[in-house]
Amino acid sequence: MVEESLEALDDSFAKMYSSFGRPSIPPERLLKGLLLQVLFKIRNERELMKHIRFNLLYRWFVGLDFQDPVWEPSTFSKNRDRPIEADIAVGSLENVVAKADEEGLLSAAHFSVDGTRLEAYDARDFVEKCRANNVIPHVAQKKNSAIDGRTTRHEGYAVSLRKRKRIEEIFGWLKTAGCLRKTRCRGVSRVRWIFTFPTAAYNLLRMRNLEISAA
pLDDT of residue 180: 82
pLDDT of residue 16: 72
Q: Of 91, 78, 87, 13, which is closest to residue 45 (Cα–Cα)?
A: 78
How many domains, in total, are found in the chain? Answer: 2
Q: pLDDT tens digits for the chain (215 residues)?
A: 888 888 888 888 777 766 666 667 888 888 899 899 988 988 888 999 999 999 999 999 999 998 899 988 888 777 777 777 778 888 888 999 998 999 888 888 777 777 888 777 655 565 666 666 665 544 444 455 567 777 788 887 888 888 888 888 999 998 888 878 887 777 788 888 888 889 999 999 999 998 888 77
Residue 199 and residue 96 in contact, taking contact as beta carbons nearer than 8 Å: no
Distance CA 175, CA 63 (A): 28
Assess if residue 160 is contained within a domain.
yes
Assess if residue 107 is contained within a domain.
no
pLDDT of residue 163: 82
**Other C-beta atoms within 10 Å of 9: how many?**
20
CA 189 to chain centre: 12
Distance CA 21, CA 40 (A): 35
Assess if residue 112 is contained within a domain.
no
pLDDT of residue 162: 83
Distance CA 149, CA 162 (A): 18
Assess if residue 118 is contained within a domain.
no
C-alpha distances (whole Å) from 109 to each of 141, 156, 163 are: 33, 10, 12
Same domain, 76 and 131: no
Assess if residue 62 is contained within a domain.
yes
Same domain, 97 and 130: no
Handedness of CA 36, 87, 9, 11 (dihedral sign): negative
Residue at 8: amino acid letter: A
Give the three-class secondary structure for 209. helix
Same domain, 94 and 133: no
Q: Is 179 left (phi over 0), alpha (psi -120 to 50) or beta?
A: left
pLDDT of residue 128: 66
Domain housing 70 = 2-102
Residues 19-30 as b or e (16 or more Cβ within 10 Å = b): eeeeeeeebbbb
Same domain, 189 and 153: yes
Same domain, 187 and 156: yes
Same domain, 163 and 98: no
Assess if residue 108 is contained within a domain.
no
Q: What single-letter DSSP state applies at residue 141?
A: P
Q: Of 88, 94, 120, which is closest to residue 191 (Cα–Cα)?
A: 120
